[in-house]
Structure 1
Amino acid sequence: MVWEPEIEELHRRQELARRMGGPEKVARQHANGRLTVRERIGKLLDAGTFREVGSLAGQARYADDGTLEDFTPANFLFGRGRLNGRPVIVGGDDFTVRGGAADAGIFQKQIMAEQMANELRLPIVRLIDGTGGGGSVKSYEAMGFTYVPFNPGWDWVVANLATVPVVSLALGPVAGLGSARAVSSHYSMIVKGTAQMFIAGPAVVARIGPSLDKEDLGGAAVHTRAGAIDDEVASEEEAFERTRRFLSYLPSSVHEAPPRGARRDDPARRDDSLLSAIPRDRKQVYKIRPVIETLVDQGSFFEMGRRHGRSLVTGFARLDGWPVALIATDPFVFGGAWDAAAAQKLIRFVDLAETFHLPVVHLVDVPGFAVGPEAEKSATIRHGARALAAVYQASVPWCSIILRRAFGVAGAGMMNHARLRYRYAWPSGDWGSLPMEGGIEVAYRAELEAAPDPAARMAEIQARLERMRSPFRTAEHFSVEEIIDPRETRSLLCEFANLAAPLRTPGLRGPAGYRP
C-alpha cells in the first residue's frame, strides 16, 4: 500500500476533470440544447469502451505548501473506443471550459489524436464545439507578444484524409480553425438550430459588413447548400447514428478493403415497377431515389450531400453485401444537368471512392452541362472538366447503367471510355452529341427556311430522325454494349459487385492524397 496516497490523488484529479467546467457551465450547455463532450462520447461509442488519453492535462492551482487547490481540465478530450465493435479514435471540444476556445486547451492533445488515428490506422471522429484555433485577442496580453500564425498538427490532418476515414460533427458554435477542422473530413454534419459555423463570427463580420445573427451567417441551411458541410441533422443523436452508418461502409484505413456487410437481400430480386420507372415522354421527370432503393440491398442506401449540387445524387449502398459508391442524377433539378456545384460534388465523391477502394455504380441520365448565363458566370465548364478528370483518373471498378439520357461532354463523363466499358442500357436510353429537340432548327435551318411549309417540313425531319433514335440501332453497331430488361439490373449489379470485390487494391492512393 506504499503508493495509496498517490492513487487517491490520481482518482481525485480524475474526478475534478470529469466535472469539466463545473455544474453551472454544464447546466448552461444543457439549457442551450447541447450535450457535454463526455455525454457525446458516451452516446457515440459502444458502452464502456472509451479509454481516455490525457485525462490529467489541464490548469492546476496550488497552495503555498504545494497541495492542489483547484483543477480545470483542458477543454479537448480524446481517446480510443469502439463503434459497432470496431476501434476508432474520438476527440471532442469541451465548451464548458472557456467555450471551447483554444487558449484554454492544450494543443498537443489535438495533435496526438490525429497522429494516433494515422499511426494506428483507425478512423477518427471529431466532436467540434468551439473555435479550436489560437484563442481570443486577450491571449496576446497574457503572453506579452503576438505571433506568426500556424496550424499545429495540420500535417496529421492532411495525412489522415489520405489514410483513414475522418468524420466531423459541428455540434455548437464553430469558428476559425474549428471550422477548418470541420470541413477537413470525408463526411461532415451540423446540428440544425443549435450549431453554426463561421470563418469569423457575427461580431467580427459586423465590423466590415452586414450585421447578421448566427443562423443567417453560418447556420445549417447556409453550409449544407453551399457544400461546406455535407448534411444537416435534427439532433446530436442523429449525427451519432449517421456516423455509425457512414463508417460501416468503409475500411478502418486505406490499407484494408471495405468490409462486406450482411447478405439479407436476394441478388436476383426483380421489381416490376422498374418497367414504368422511366416515362415515355422524354420531357417528363421522375423520382430517382425509389429506383436506387429497389436496385440496391434493401435499406442500404446512405445518401450524402443532398442539399448541395442537387442535380447529382451521391451516397453509399450495398450490393449482395458489398459496399459501393453510387452516383445518379435527379431529373427534378435542372433536368439532371450538371452545374458547377454538381461537378464539384462529383469530384469529391469520386475521390472518396478512390481513396477507400469503393467500386462505383453510376446510374446515368445526364442531359449535359447546365447552360445559360449563370452557368457561364459560375465557370461550369471549368468545374465540369475537373469532374471529367476525376472520373478518368479513377482506378476503382466502375459500372454504368444508362437509364435514359447521355448527351454532350457531361454525358460522356459517365465513365472512362478507355477502360473496360462495363455498361448496360435500358430500352429508354436516349443519347447523342445533343438532344435532337434542341438541334433541329440549327442543323436544318436552310432546309426549313426554303420549305413552303416550314412546320410540315419540321415534322417530317423529326419523324425521320426519330427512327434513327432507337437504342437498338446503337446496339447494332456495338456503340452500347448491352440493352437489358430493367428488372435484370439488380442481379447484374450484384454480379458486378462480386467481380469487383477481389480487384480492390488496398494502399495509399498517391502523393497528393484526398483534398477536402
Structure 2
Amino acid sequence: MPFEKELGELADHTRAALAMGGEDKLARRRAEGVLDARERLDRLLDAGSFVEWGMFARGILPEVRDRSPADGKVAGFGRIEGRPVGVVSNDFTVLGASSSVVNGKKIRHVRETVDRRGMPLVLLGESSGARMPDRMGAPGRAILGQDPLEFRRLRSSPWVSALLGSCYGSSTWYGCMSDFVVMRKGATMAVASSRVTSMAIGQEVDPEELGGWELHTGTTGLVDVAVDTDEEALDTVRRVLSYLPSSAAETPPVATVPAGSDEASQSILDVFPESRSSVYDVRTVIGRIADRDSLFELKPRFGKSLVTAFVRMDGHSVGVVANNPKFKGGAIDVDSMHKATSFLVLCDSFNIPLVFLVDQPGFLIGVEGEKRGAPGRIMNWMNALAQVTVPKLSIVMRKSYGQAYLNMGGGRYSDALACWPMADLGFMDPSLAVNVLHGVKQSEEPERFEALRSDVARDTSAWALAALYEAHAVLDPRDTRRWLKEMLALHRRGKTVSEHRLANWPTSY
C-alpha cells in the first residue's frame, strides 16, 4: 500500500490521542460513574457530528510531551439538533487538564471561529488550574496576557459552561464569563483548590464550602442550575441552547407548539388566589400562560422572590421576569436585583423578547440590603432596562408598588403594559402608608384608620391607570396568553434583532 509507513504513523498517533490519560485513569472514572472528556462529547453532540481540532497537540515542554495527548483539552466542532457548535472538553486524565501554552491556543482558535462564524460555544469544565512549571517565574509571566481579548465578552454568540468536576483556573474564568452555567453536584468551582487555599490561609477548607453547588446556586448566583450526573448536565446544555439563537445576528429557533397549550390558560384562576394577601407560586401561573412544558428556570435557588425563566409562546422563545410571592412575599432583595439585571442582559443580547409578570410590594428594605449596595443594584437594573431594545411587555397581576413599578417594566419601560382587574398600583401597601404618613394604628383608631386607608388607596386601581393611558389594556387573566401572543407577534414585525447595547455588560459584578 502506498505511504504505508506514514499512514501507520497517523494510526499510531490517533490511538495515542484517543487513549487519553490511560486505561487505569479512565477505569477509575467509570467506577465513579463519571464520563471522560470524549464520552461527554458523544453525549452532548449529534451522533457522528464531531470534527476535532488539535488532536495531535502536545505539551510544549519536552518532559511532558509524551504524556500529554491532545494536551489535555479535546476541542473542535459538532452539531446539536442539527445546529453547529464549538466545543472544548477538558480531559482531566491528562495532567489534570491544566492550562498550557498549546491548549490555550486551541481554545483561542475555537473561540475566534465561533465568533466569526456565528455559533454557540460549549465549555465542559474540569481542570486543575495553571500547569506547572510552565507558569513559574518571569517566563511564566510572559505567557500571560498575550491575547488582550481573552477575558472580554462581546456576546456575539452564546457561551454555555458545564462544571463537571474540580474546576480551578480557566474552567472557573470561562464559567464566570458564560451566559449559562450548569454544575454537577460534587463538582467545585473556585479560584484555587481547597488544598492550595488551605495552605494560603493556614486552616482546613472543605471543597464543597469553598466552591460547591449549594454555594454557587444559592449564595453567589454564579451557577444557574445544579444536576446530579454528567448526563443530566449535558442534556441541560442541549435544552438551554434550544431557546437561544446560534448568534446575536439571528433570532432563536421556533419550536412546535404542544397540544393543549391554549387550553391551560383557562384554568389560571385556579392557581391565582382571590385574597390579595394570599401566597402562591408564580411558576404555576407561568405554566398556564406559556406553551405546555416549556418553562426552563434559571437560578431557581438564588434570589427566590423573583423568577427568571425561558419559556416558549406560540413556539417562540420568551424571557419571563416574574415576582414570586411564595418567597418574601415577592419583595425584591439584592440577589433578585442581580438576577434580574443579568437576565435582561442575556435576553437582549440574544434577541429574546421579555415579559414581566408583576406582583411585588416593593424592594426589601433594611440594613443588610443597604450594606450590600441595594441602591446601586436597583440603578444597575434600571440602567440595563433602559438600554434593552428587544420587545418588552408587562402585566400587573396584583401589587406593583414604589420605584419597583419601573424596574418591573412600568411607565415607558415597556412597549405595552396590561393590568388584571385586581391590580393595585399604590406607592406602598395602603395600611402601611397610613402608619408611615399619619402615625395611626388600626388597633387604636379603627374608624379613622379605615378612612385614611381609603384615602391613600384612592386612584390606585387598574381602571385609574388605564384612564391615564398608562395601562394599555385591562385583561381577564384567562385572556393573558392570547394577548401576549398577539403583542409578541406584533412586535416581531420589522426589525427582529436587538441593537445589542448591552453586549459588553460585565458577565458578573
TM-score by structure 2 length? 0.92
Residue 21 of structure 1 pairs with residue 21 of structure 2: yes
Superposed CA offset, 1:165-214 (max 9, x none): 11001101001232011111010011002x11111221222231541221
1:132-151 to structure 2, matched below 5 A, reads: 133-136=129-132, 138-139=133-134, 145-148=139-142, 150-151=144-145
Gaps of 5+ in 1: 63-67
Residues 60 and 365 (structure 1 numbering): CA distance in 2 closer, same or farther, change over 3 Å? closer
CA distance in 1, matches of 2:68, 2:321: 52
Task: Specify the alignment match of 1:189 in structure 2.
Answer: 182
The residue number in structure 2 matching 1:215 is 208
Match of 2:449? 458
CA distance in 2 between partners of 1:507 and 1:294 (Å):
28
Change beyond 3 A, Cα 1:140–1:341:
closer
The residue type paired with residue 292 of structure 1 is I
1:173 aligns with 2:169: no
Relative to 1, partners in 2 of residues 1:158 and 1:308: Cα closer, same or farther, differing over 3 Å? same
CA contact (8 A) 1:110 1:153 kept: no
Note the C-alpha offset of 1:117.
1.2
Q: C-alpha separation between the residues in 1 aligned to 2:167 and 2:360? A: 37
Q: How far apart are residue 314 of structure 1 and its match?
A: 0.6
Residue equivalent to 1:3? 3
What is the root-mean-square deviation of aligned Cα atoms in Å? 2.7
Paired residues in the alignment total: 503
Instruction: State the distance in 1 between where 2:148 and 2:161 align.
Output: 15
- Within-5 A mapping of 1:380-459: 380-415=374-409, 417-418=411-412, 421-445=415-439, 448=440, 454-459=445-450
Q: Which moved more, 1:278-287 or 1:218-227?
A: 278-287
Question: Does the aligned pair in 2 maintain the 1:355–1:514 contact within 8 Å?
Answer: no
**CA–CA distance in structure 2, aligned partners of residues 87 and 173 of structure 1:** 28
- 1:498 maps to 2:489: yes
In structure 2, relative to structure 1, the CA distance for the partners of 1:354 and 1:416 (3 Å cut) is farther
Please tell me whether residue 199 in structure 1 is matched to residue 191 in structure 2.
yes
The 1:154–1:322 alpha-carbon spacing in structure 2 relative to 1, beyond 3 Å, is farther
**Range with greater deviation from structure 2 (257-266 or 379-388):** 257-266
Whether the 8 Å contact between 2:305 and 2:332 is mirrored in structure 1 is: yes
Counterpart contact for 2:59–2:102, Cα < 8 Å = no
Which 10-residue stretch deviates more, 460-469 or 309-318?
460-469
Partner of 2:332: 338
The 5 Å alignment of 1:246-395 reads 246-265=240-259, 268-269=262-263, 271-395=265-389
Judge conservation of contact 1:175–1:201 (CA < 8 Å) in 2.
yes
Which one of the candidate residues 110, 114, 120 is aligned to 2:111? 114
Deviations 1:245-272 (A, max 9, x none): 1111111111112222113346753634
Cα deviation 1:299-343 (Å, max 9, x = unaligned): 111111111121111111111111111110111222112111111
Query: Alpha carbons of 1:474 and 1:416: their partners in 2 closer, same or farther (altered >3 Å)?
Result: closer
Measure, in 2, the Cα distance between the counterparts of 1:379 and 1:474.
Answer: 32
Query: Does the residue aligned with 2:201 lie in a helix, a strand or coil?
Result: coil
Secondary structure of 1:271's match?
Answer: helix
Conservation of the 8 A alpha-carbon contact between 1:115 and 1:156: no
- Separation in 1, partners of 2:261, 2:32: 47
> Helix, strand or coil: the match of 1:130?
strand
User: How far apart are the structure 2 equivalents of 1:107 and 1:472?
Assistant: 60
Please state how far the C-alpha of 1:480 moved relative to its aligned partner: 2.4
Q: Secondary structure at the match of 1:57?
A: coil
In the alignment, does 2:506 pair up with 1:515?
yes
**Residue 303 of structure 1: SS of its match in structure 2?**
strand
Q: SS in structure 2 opposite 1:88?
A: strand
Does the Cα contact within 8 Å between 2:181 and 2:223 map onto a contact in 1? yes
Letter matched to residue 240 of structure 2:
F
Counterpart position of 1:65: none
**Alpha-carbon displacement from aligned partner over 1:283-313 (angstroms, at most 9, x marks no partner):** 2211111100110000111111111121111
Which one-letter code corresponds to 2:9 in the other structure? Answer: E
Change (3 A) 1:436 1:276: farther
Q: 3-state SS of the aligned residue for 2:162? A: strand
Q: Is the 8 A contact 1:56 1:73 kept in 2?
A: yes
Compared with structure 1, are the counterparts of its residues 407 and 419 closer, same or farther at alpha carbon in structure 2 (3 Å cutoff)? closer
Q: CA deviation at 1:354?
A: 0.8
**Matching of residue 472 in structure 1 with residue 463 in structure 2:** yes
* Cα displacement (A) at 1:401: 0.9
Task: Give the secondary structure class of the aligned counterpart of 2:236.
Answer: helix
1:461/1:375 CA distance change after superposition, 3 Å: same
Identity %: 32
Unmatched 5+ stretches in structure 2:
none
2-structure distance, mates of 1:61, 1:147: 16
Cα distance, 1:101 vs structure 2: 1.3
